[in-house]
Amino acid sequence: MAPPTRSRPFRTPSPVPLNGKEADTPRKTAYFAALARDGDKKALSTIAAECKVAPSTARDWRHQYEQLGAAAKRKLRPRSKILGRKSKVTKPMCKMLVSPSRNPVRKQPLEAQIKFHDLPVKPRQLGRKLREHTKKAARYLCAFIEKTITEKNHKDRTIYGSTHLYDAIFGFWDHVVFTDEAHVDPSSQSQGRVLREQGTRDRPENIEERPPLKGVRFHIAAWISWWGKAEKLTFYNDEQDKIEQPPMPPKPRRRPTTETEEDYRRRIAEWEASKPHAREVKVQGNAMTQKYYVENLLPVYVNAMEKMREIDDKPWLLQEDGDPSHGMRKAGLAQEYKDAYNIKNLRHPAQSPDLNPIEGIWAIIKQRLRERIFDSKEDMKQALQEEWDKITMEEIRHRIADIPRRCAELVRSNGGPIRGNKW
């Protein structure tokens, strides 16, 4: 008999169970084929015995197949807990990045911080190491300084909460038309982020003032109720500011018999100097007067009230904020207009956008606008209307239904500000 030519000759696998050892690929493949063919007919232990596999091993293979899919049919190698080379991101490097005094670009994206500090690392690895070497540091939203509610408005808000604490959704809040005017700046930036550790949100270095509006502004108005919403946004102060030329004084006539040529030129020079300069006229609408409000916006709200009154004959209320143009503080054109249509107001305390559900709708629209790109003012205007059309009645009703909870929160906190996941 000739000697084998291989140093490791092929040997037929032993038919005995594997005793915890991993089988070769043919035996594993045969087991999975039998499991797929007879899995709903035979017990797992029976299939394992037919394939000469221990029941515990069969269970492990089936679990691997559920987790890994087809890869479980191959022979698996032990996974190393240390993958790749040692990271170049050190703990001192992470501490430097979260330090306000040592990292002047903490509010920039990680890519910009890597470039500024010339770090030999990618953003993904840097984010992972920041969480590992610090108190879960990451780019969190900045904390903004909020306006303080005055003591008088605290009392008014508490009274508002006590008055409407037990008002039900159906029977009261579903018969309120909520109105508001908003200033939308699609080109403004969203709330910024800063690289910091957890638990340091309220430190002075992590708080910034809310940036002023910039770019192209749009002044919009709309109304919502439990049963409907405005079909179209009302764009006010949409007219262009214009240059107005005041009337010019008449040009002096020459007096050939009583004055010399030099006197006439002097009078012409005085006339030129006395000409009034052109002046820019700002169109009303940003700081509205009652006259502008009555002529442009209030008729829209009145039409909404008339439309809601067709639903039933119960009393309907109109909610407006405390802007002077609404005529809530003293009688004027706005109050006379509402009296002519028998419209009653729901008193709304000052500094209380958290009590008007349409503010939550504005928040949705502004958030969606930040994800869009515009080429012109008309595109921005069209985008505003498109986002308003996407607002569903379910989103509106969820915010109106949150009013009773907010009234209870006003009573509990003595008129303090309210935060929630709706707005």
Name the least confident of 171-175, 280-284, 291-295, 366-370.
280-284
Q: Would you place residue 254 in the very low, low, confident or very high pLDDT band (cuts 50, 70, 90)?
A: confident
CA distances from 226 to 20, 66, 402 (A): 66, 48, 12
On the question of pLDDT at 6 being above 50, the answer is no
* 8-state DSSP, 215: S
CATH of domain 151-191+213-240+283-413: 3.30.420.10
Among residues 263, 267, 217, which one has the least CA distance to residue 237?
Answer: 217
φ/ψ of 107, rounded to 5, equals -90, 0
Contact, 391 vs 361, CB < 8 A? yes
**Which pLDDT tens digit goes with each residue over 109-131?**
999 999 999 998 999 999 999 99
Q: How confident is the model at residue 309 (pLDDT cuts 50, 70, 90)?
A: very high
Cβ neighbours of residue 421 under 8 Å, at least 6 residues apart? none
Q: Is the pTM of this model over 0.75?
A: no
If you average pLDDT over every residue of the chain, what do you get?
83
pLDDT digits (tens, 9 = 90+) for 162-208: 999 999 999 999 999 999 998 887 556 566 788 889 888 778 788 77
Say which residue, 241 or 307, is predicted with more confidence. 307
- The span from the CA of 298 to the CA of 305, in Å, is 11
The mean per-residue pLDDT over the stretch 262-282 comes to 79
Checking if the pLDDT of 238 tops 90, the result is: no
Strand duo 317-319 + 176-184: pairing: parallel
Specify the pLDDT at position 114.
Answer: 92
Q: Give the pLDDT band (50/70/90) at residue 156.
A: very high
What number is the average pLDDT over the span 279-297? 72
Model pLDDT, residue 300? 95
Most confident listed range (25-29, 145-149, 410-414): 410-414
pLDDT score, position 284: 47
Distance CA 342, CA 318 (A): 11
pLDDT of 415 over the 80 cut: yes
Most confident of 212-226, 240-254, 327-341: 327-341
Buried-state track 391-403, b at ≥16 Cβ within 10 A, e below 16: beeebbbebbebb
The answer to whether residue 18 scores a pLDDT higher than 80 is: no
d(CA 213, CA 189): 9
Structure-token pair, residue 376: 């012109």
- When pLDDT is cut at 50, 70 and 90, the band that residue 406 belongs to is very high
